Chains A and B, each alone.
Chain A
Amino acid sequence: AQRVTQPEKLLSVFKGAPVELKCNYSYSGSPELFWYVQYSRQRLQLLLRHISRESIKGFTADLNKGETSFHLKKPFAQEEDSAMYYCALWPQGGSEKLVFGKGTKLTVNP
């Protein structure tokens, strides 16, 4: 079965420090992976997807098939990055269901 694991429920860093939000997945095929961000009491918004290999708001994520990971990184955290972050996997092959991790709450302290 497909599964997405975000091992840290809470992550706290200081402004200007590097941040890495971990995401591990289990899937036998080639997944499509996404990171979503949810600011306080707002909707989930797509942050980035692995197929586009883009950097959004300074965040990047690299798919490591060997380690089945898709960690989200930012070299210098900002206070406005404080939010809930969800990693999600789309199994290819006709499935219409996105598999979400349980999320990591990031707090960036001044």
Chain B
Amino acid sequence: NAGVTQTPKFQVLKTGQSMTLQCAQDMNHNSMYWYRQDPGMGLRLIYYSASEGTTDKGEVPNGYNVSRLNKREFSLRLESAAPSQTSVYFCATRGRGGGQPQHFGDGTRLSIL
């Protein structure tokens, strides 16, 4: 059982380039999330999807777009990368029902020069 799989693990981009971060889960969870993690800032929610076909903005959505392709996959796209988007990106999932925790992927380390 892979759980939550993120690709790629590392990426270096130039300013202005575009990039899609992929997230896939085999946990049959309805909800999926994208976070960015920066030193001193903790985790900040970019976008989330409560179910297939729905997406909602989180705390820091500007500069990003998402697609919930199906129940398993939730992608994050940077249309025109900026140095301020250098960060570690985490995908997470959550099952339905009270008391359910989030499960995280290994993260994607993205550097934008």
Contacts and interface: CB of A to CB of B under 8 A. Distances in A.
Interface stretch (B18-26, B71-79, B95-103): B95-103
Interface in B82-113: 90, 92, 94, 98-99, 101-107
A95 B92 CA distance: 16
B84 to A, nearest CB: 19
A16 B24 CA distance: 40
Query: How many B residues are at the interface, by size bracket?
Result: 20 to 34
Contacts of A98: 33, 94, 102
**Interface size of A as a range:** 20 to 34
Which secondary structure dominates where chain B touches chain A? Answer: strand
A32 B100 CA distance: 9
Given A32-B98, A32-B99, A51-B99, A102 B40 contact: yes
A17 interface: no
A62 B102 CA distance: 20
B48 A43 contact: no
A49 B99 CA distance: 8
A34 B101 contact: yes
A26 to B, nearest CB: 16
A2 to B, nearest CB: 12
A96 interface: yes
Interface of A: 9, 32, 34, 42-46, 49, 51-52, 86, 88, 90, 92, 96-98, 100-103
Interface of B: 31, 33, 40-43, 45, 48, 50, 58, 90, 92, 94, 98-99, 101-107
